[in-house]
Each structure stands twice: as structure tokens, then as C-alpha cells.
């Protein structure tokens, strides 16, 4: 049960119950859908990027506490950030979950030290690393973000 409490930290339950930046944006914002085909979770990410900066972001969709809180935490973390900063954050977040860029489990090599402080509230999702099956829930919104940035030509 100790692990379970690490998984379901209070911050996570809070973001799950009260998701931030909920909704969709109108064009010219871009709209990207993400699926987790295994459990049916869905994310709809609206991104408004202006001059290389994410000026607005909204998240819709449905799914488990991990996927939804991760989306909510992400939206709060990237709003106002430059595209470059957001991309860097994707990397750091995945590193926290011991994942490589393509979501392969990172090699046994000593992981590069990550600056958990730089992740802020996102660090609450660290407990997910112990639940391999849930890692896909935590990364759904982040993979959707990467796709959204690619598709919007950023």
C-alpha cells in the first residue's frame, strides 16, 4: 500500500478532481488527439503557439487519474513557455519515468541526473515509474504534446 500512496499523491488526486485548463480552443489554435488504445484513455490538446511561445493551452478528454492529472499538470507547466522549453520539459519528464525519447525503457546505464526541482509539481508523478503499466497513462498527454508541436510546424 505504500507504493499506492506514492502513486496517488495528493497533488495528483487534486489535479484529477479539479483539472486545470480544461476545454478546447478555437482555431487558429491547433487540436491534437491522443489515444491510449490499451485502456481507452483520450486526450484532446489545444495549443495556441505565437512567436514560438505557447500562449494558451487547453486539455479535454477522459481517462484515469494518472492520465488526466498528468495532462492537467502539463498544461499548467507549459503555458507561457517557449516551444523549446516545452520540448525540453518533455525530455526531462520522460527521464523522470526512466524512459527514453521513444518511450523505450531507458538502458541500464546510469541515468543522467535530472533536476526534479525544474519539474515543479510534475515531480508528483514520479511514483508512476514503479507501475510500468501506468507509465503510458502518464505519458499520453506528453506524447500528444510532442505530436501537436510537430504538427503545428513547431
Other CB atoms closer than 10 Å to residue 149's CB: what's the count? 22
Tell me: does residue 56 bind other proteins (CB under 8 A). Answer: no
Interatomic CA distance for residues 143 and 120, integer angstroms: 19
Stretch of residues binding other proteins (CB under 8 A), selected from 1-9, 22-30, 52-60, 90-98 = 1-9
**Does 38 participate in binding other proteins (rule CB under 8 A)?**
yes
Tally of CA atoms within 13 A in the half-sphere of 61 that contains its CB: 30
User: Measuring CA to CA, which residue among 142, 88, 139 is closest to residue 112?
Assistant: 88
Our CB check for other proteins shows the closer of 17 and 151 to be 17
Can you give the length of the chain in residues? 154
Q: How far is the CB of 87 from other proteins (least distance, A)?
A: 21
Site string for other proteins, 71-110 (x = CB under 8 A): -------------------------------x-x------
If you compute the radius of gyration of the chain from its CA atoms, what whole number of angstroms results? 15
* Binding region for other proteins (CB under 8 A): 1, 3-4, 7-8, 13, 17, 35, 37-42, 62-68, 102, 104, 131-134, 137
Amino acid at each position: 500500500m505504500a507504493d499506492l500512496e506514492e502513486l496517488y499523491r495528493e497533488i495528483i488526486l487534486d489535479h484529477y478532481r479539479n483539472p486545470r485548463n480544461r476545454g478546447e480552443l478555437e482555431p487558429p489554435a491547433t487540436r491534437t488527439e491522443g489515444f491510449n488504445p490499451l485502456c481507452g484513455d483520450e486526450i484532446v490538446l489545444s495549443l495556441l503557439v505565437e512567436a514560438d511561445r505557447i500562449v494558451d493551452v487547453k486539455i479535454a478528454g477522459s481517462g484515469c487519474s494518472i492520465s488526466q492529472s498528468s495532462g492537467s499538470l502539463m498544461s499548467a507547466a507549459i503555458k507561457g513557455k517557449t516551444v523549446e522549453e516545452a520540448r525540453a520539459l518533455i525530455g526531462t519528464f520522460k527521464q523522470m519515468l526512466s524512459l527514453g525519447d521513444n518511450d523505450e525503457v531507458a538502458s541500464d546505464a546510469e541515468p543522467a541526473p535530472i533536476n526534479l526541482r525544474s519539474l515543479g509539481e510534475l515531480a508528483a508523478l514520479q511514483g508512476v515509474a514503479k507501475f510500468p503499466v501506468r507509465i503510458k497513462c502518464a505519458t499520453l498527454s506528453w506524447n500528444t504534446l510532442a505530436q501537436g508541436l510537430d504538427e503545428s510546424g513547431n
